[in-house]
Structure 1
Amino acid sequence: MKLSVSMITFQGASYLKAQMDSILGQSVPVHEIIVCDDGSTDGTREILASYVAEYPQIQLHFNEKNLGTVANMQQCLRKTTGDLVFLADQDDVWLPTKVEKMLAFFQQNPEADAVFSNADIIDEVGETQFGMTLWDIIGFPYGQVDLTDFETRVDNVVTGAGLAFKRNPELLEKDIPKIPGLLHDGWIGLHFAAKNTLNANPEKLFQYRSHANQQVGGKIKERQALLDFNLAIYDGVPVMKDFATWKAAMKRLYTNLDLPYMDKAKIQDQIDLYAEYGKTYFQLRASLFLFVKAIR
């Protein structure tokens, strides 16, 4: 089986060497590493070029103009030739047995066409952050929900940095639609979830770096709130703490209606439920307000 890595870069000089070394140091080596740089001027291209002479499996492609994250990753994926394609961020660190363990997971779960793993969160200097994992940060309630149903009804939980998928010409030929909020990992996750061939590996197989130039929620209180919010939407039982929570849930649901591969019938049922609940809830609050006002 031929193994490919697809990695895009842009102004990534600060952490790129650590990531390249971690990919090249795998217990099971990959056969090709395709890197598409999107116009870096901070030394990223020079760092990449320094690896090529020693590691012929690295193929570099320097964009003449900036394409943006999604378009750059799409072209990078299309340049791969492997039977199994791993996505990689420019600023993470793969654990030495990541590829080995992902291959084992695919072998143990032959029905899976795409698998994504969990990760530890690290800071700028590589220190772990309060024991948090990537799935904590994104609010993925692993083990509490059906993955396919959750992915196609509530929220994308696939992070490209932890994703590998079996080569799929149908997926690679399609252009990723330009929909606000839809990135390449969400597009891939939805594609395979709609076919019920997406799987989650709970092992922490890489270190996901949170740093100043990257927006990642990191506070324990915030991650628990997001997890509770996602579970409330999934269960279909609105937890009405305040108007802002209700409004946010409705916005999420309506956004999901516009995304490809989503289970629109189930989402519409949730919207109807939330609308009716909201109507009853706010009528009750209004009545209570009038009652309290009357007895004062």
Structure 2
Amino acid sequence: MLTLSEYPLVSIVMACYQGEKYLAIQIESLLVQDYPHMEFIFVDDASQDSSWTILEKYANQDSRLTIVRNETNIGYRKTFERGINLSKGDYIALSDQDDYWIPSKISRLVHGIGEASLIYADSELVNADGIPIGQKMSEIKRQIAYNSPIMYTFGGWAPGHSMLFKRDLLAFALPTVDFVTHDYLIGFGATCANGIRYLPEPLVYYRQHESNTIGANLRKAPKPYTSRKERNELILARLDLIQKRCPAGKNQDVLQAFLMACRGKNIPHRIDRVRIALKNRENMLAYKGKSAFGKFAYCFKLFFALY
């Protein structure tokens, strides 16, 4: 039987803001995880409700907890980043403030990650009262394994609330930026290291309510842009970011060439977009789940549009 120190340390990082309604329920589910070697880093983003009082209560009861309070509100991306930078674990798992986990979540993910840099699992959707609504995240959004950075070209995605990752990918994932989510960058960082595994098993009860910062898109979410021009600027900014963070030898050349083709508006640039996408369509379009014909046809759509 392993001693405590022989289990890799897992850091649970939570970003909290105005979370008093559900916060205690989530913390209780974290503290009863059956994995034996964990630390908890909870960062409050200058909440004005009783969130900090709740965090203090649990910190006084359990020495595994470290709680930190931002002096001013800096947003969930930078709050998660601060918590990650304070963590010491070999593995890191992110926690939302309003979900609740099954007791074996961390042990199942640690057992399943293997040589990959990140593993994520399915989630069971629940309503605001915590009651399952009969839907899984995998029934709404495509969830797959990723082994290449170019698989993130057209919408790759691994949700932060269900992931466990190794510290080595942080070199590619941080710092966060304000135009993509923190978990997008962590997922992309994992593809730059040793890839992502997917566990098709619900390990989180993912609460859907009106105050979700990021939900499962059960309702139409507002777009982060108001015009096609703004949309294209965001696409180009994201492509520029990932090609800069992608290491040489990991399809960086493909991402760089595709960015240059997307920046241009003339006929040769449009042809280059189509050509690059056709050559790499199996990986580039893996997330979209299209048929062989659908992938082929989508590439020609890029002659007229960026996405």
Contact (CA 8 Å) 2:117, 2:169: kept in 1 or not?
A: no
Letter in 2 for 1:69: Y
Equivalent of 2:241, from 252, 259, 267?
A: 259
Asked if 1:175 is matched to 2:179, the reply is no
Query: What does residue 118 of structure 2 align with?
Result: 114
Task: Give SS of 1:258's match.
Answer: helix
Q: For 1:112 and 1:140, how far apart are their aligned partners in 2?
A: 19
Unaligned runs of 5+ in 1: 223-245, 281-296
Counterpart in 1 of 2:206? 208
Say which is worse superposed, 97-106 or 164-173, in terms of deviation.
164-173
Query: What is the CA distance between 1:259 and its match in structure 2?
Result: 3.5
State the secondary structure of the residue aligned to 1:117. strand
Which of 32, 35, 60 is equivalent to 1:53? 60
Higher helix share: 1
Q: Which residue of 1 aligns with 2:3?
A: none
What is the aligned partner in structure 1 of residue 70 from structure 2?
63
* One of 189, 192, 215 as aligned partner of 1:191: 189
- Cα displacement string for residues 178-203 of structure 1 (whole angstroms, at most 9, x for unaligned residues): 352x1110111111112342222221
- How far residue 20 of structure 1 moved from its aligned partner, in angstroms, is 0.3
Deviation string, structure 1 residues 275-296 (Cα, Å, up to 9, x no partner): 854779xxxxxxxxxxxxxxxx
State the shift of 1:269 in Å.
Answer: 7.5
Paired residue for 1:124, among 112, 125, 128? 128
Q: What is the aligned partner in structure 2 of residue 6 from structure 1?
A: 13
> How many Å separate the matches in 1 of 2:121 and 2:154?
19
Q: TM-score, normalised by structure 1?
A: 0.73
Aligned length: 248
Cα distance in 1 between the residues matched to 2:173 and 2:231: 33
Specify the structure having the higher radius of gyration (Cα).
Answer: 1
1:103-154 Cα deviation digits (max 9, x unpaired): 1102xx3x2011111101111101122x2222333x22537xx563674221
Contact 1:151 1:157 survives alignment (8 Å): no
**Greater Cα offset, 268-277 or 71-80:** 268-277
Query: Offset of 1:256 from its aligned partner?
Result: 4.5
| Partner secondary structure for residue 14 of structure 1 | coil
Pairwise CA RMSD: 3.2
**1:166 alignment counterpart:** 166
Shift of 1:170: 5.0
Please give the alpha-carbon distance, in whole angstroms, between the structure 1 residues aligned to 2:188 and 2:109: 20
Aligned 8 A contact 2:123 2:203 in 1: yes
| Bigger relative CO (Cα 8 Å, ≥ 6 apart) | 1
Q: What fraction of aligned residue pairs are identical, expressed as a percent?
A: 24
Report if aligned partners of 2:143, 2:198 keep a CA contact under 8 Å in 1: no
